């Protein structure tokens, strides 16, 4: 039974190179998606932290201006 034409070493290497390039492209796409997701998560963390701070200010009946003044006072 005939198996077909054997590939030359150059053809084998070119196929391997193509597969490596395809893998790199796939992983670059995945990396880009993960970086985007990371930014979204970081933004969501900031939003949640601000919500917590706002809630504390409201519970303690502290205005934003009062909070600014307290922060400025600690810087000096």
Dump pLDDT digits (tens) for 51-68.
999 999 999 999 999 999
Measured from the Cβ of residue 46, the count of other Cβ atoms closer than 10 Å reads 10
DSSP 5: P
| In the chain, domain spans | 9-75
> Model's pTM, two decimal places?
0.68
- pLDDT at position 1 is 53
Distance CA 2, CA 54 (A): 77
Distance of alpha carbon 57 from alpha carbon 7, whole angstroms: 73
Q: Scan for tokens 């303690």, then name that residue.
A: 60
């Amino acid at each position: 039974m005939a198996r077909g034409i054997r590939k030359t070493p150059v053809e084998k290497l070119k196929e391997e190179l193509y597969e490596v390039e395809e893998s790199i492209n796939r992983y670059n796409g995945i990396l880009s998606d993960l970086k985007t997701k990371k930014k979204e998560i970081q933004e969501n963390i900031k939003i949640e932290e601000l919500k917590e701070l706002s809630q504390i200010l409201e519970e303690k009946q502290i205005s934003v201006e009062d909070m600014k003044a307290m922060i400025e006072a600690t810087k000096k």
